[in-house]
Chain A
């Protein structure tokens, strides 16, 4: 028969490969083989002190599977310092890196909160959009209020559009008047009118 039974093993497996210690894992971050780097990144999830080393690697890592592991581990090691390092990538031209950073930040609400005001007032409208995208899915009590503040004060149409989307998800009845004001501000723009109407309907539960 072509089917063969592999050697049956008991759990835990024996022999179990020994867990590599912190110095060895950090050294592995510089390995040429992406699989070695990736394993080290995953195993470093238990070492908060490695967080900055991992952020360093993220800045130069080109392999997408190692990057994915980096984002996962950094989410586990979340802290305002980690969030600060990730936030830098919102300015990156590397779309995959940027989006990965946005996603990771979305999963660390308390860690990213201290940075949000700064990001929401960045000169680059795209960075403000990304900050709003983070806000839109953030499980943070103040998210609706911050989104409403964007709607009230941001001059850029696409930043407001992103905020509308966010309010459609997490907006409360208190947001309706801000949306109505926004509609007047962008009156005549078919997309904005459509988007605001849709968001208001959703908030009203229609």
Chain B
């Protein structure tokens, strides 16, 4: 059982999406930090430490794939498990996500229990 909460970085340009992720992940025992595009996500991933990242693919300024590529060179950020989120149910996006370094891939609309379950799995957090 953790003493301090696991930290998750949520990267999505949709305000509602971020609120939703926050609500689900806080209930699952995480401390949530937000970023509104891939560039901001990159900065936060480099500047702070996280146990998990939730990364949307389609974002202005820098998309999710580009963000994952950018942080790959950082020894600390590279090790953080990442769940990528897309609207595309086809295999094409899933393959790209894996190449970009994602550990897991979810399709919108995201069901809260799926997100919570994947998050716990990825971050190794025991349910509070």
Beta-carbon contact of A102 and B15 below 8 Å: no
* B59 adjacent to chain A (CB < 8 Å): yes
Contact of B87 among A103, A158, A192, A199 (CB under 8 A): A158
Beta-carbon contact of B60 and A102 below 8 Å: yes
Beta-carbon contact of A96 and B16 below 8 Å: no
Say which size band chain A's interface belongs to: 20 to 34
| Residue from B60, B88, B96, B111 with most neighbouring chain A CB atoms (10 Å) | B60
Beta-carbon contact of A165 and B16 below 8 Å: yes
- Stretch of B1-9, B17-25, B45-53 lying at the A interface: B17-25
CA distance A195 to B24 in the complex (A): 13
Beta-carbon contact of B111 and A99 below 8 Å: no
* B66 adjacent to chain A (CB < 8 Å): yes
* B11 adjacent to chain A (CB < 8 Å): no
* B63 adjacent to chain A (CB < 8 Å): yes
CA distance A181 to B26 in the complex (A): 29
CA distance A102 to B61 in the complex (A): 10
Chain B residues proximal to chain A, CB less than 8 Å: 14-17, 19-20, 23, 57-61, 63-66, 87-88, 92, 96, 108-112
| Inter-chain pairs besides A95-B58, A165-B17, A199-B16, 16 sampled, C-beta below 8 Å | A95-B57, A99-B61, A103-B61, A125-B87, A129-B87, A130-B58, A133-B58, A157-B109, A158-B87, A161-B108, A164-B16, A168-B16, A191-B20, A191-B111, A192-B109, A194-B23
